[in-house]
Amino acid sequence: MSSRLQILLPEGLDARLRKAAQRSRMSKGAWVRHAIEQALASGPTEPDPLARLASLGAPTADIDQMLAEIEAGRR
């Protein structure tokens, strides 16, 4: 079963899409479906925020302990 996706494109983007589809000898719809497939297959373009945070190697501890250490450092 298929579902319909309707989007509004600015004129300039629509013209670029039309030209790209023509160069590929595809309809605009087929070109967009192909582009979506490629984008989804390549995975996320931005790293997972939690994975990025974990990669920083920042100190971690119980939140109450960290807050107590912050307060102790202010004195």
- Give tens-digit pLDDT for 10-65: 999 999 999 999 999 999 999 999 999 998 898 767 778 888 888 888 877 889 99
| Residue 75 pLDDT class (50, 70, 90 cuts) | confident
Within a domain: 16: yes
Domain membership of residue 20 as a residue range: 11-74
Within a domain: 1: no
Q: What is the pLDDT of residue 12?
A: 96
Within a domain: 2: no
Within a domain: 6: no
Within a domain: 3: no
Q: What is the pLDDT of residue 14?
A: 97
Residue listed under structure tokens 């960290």: 66
Model pTM score: 0.57
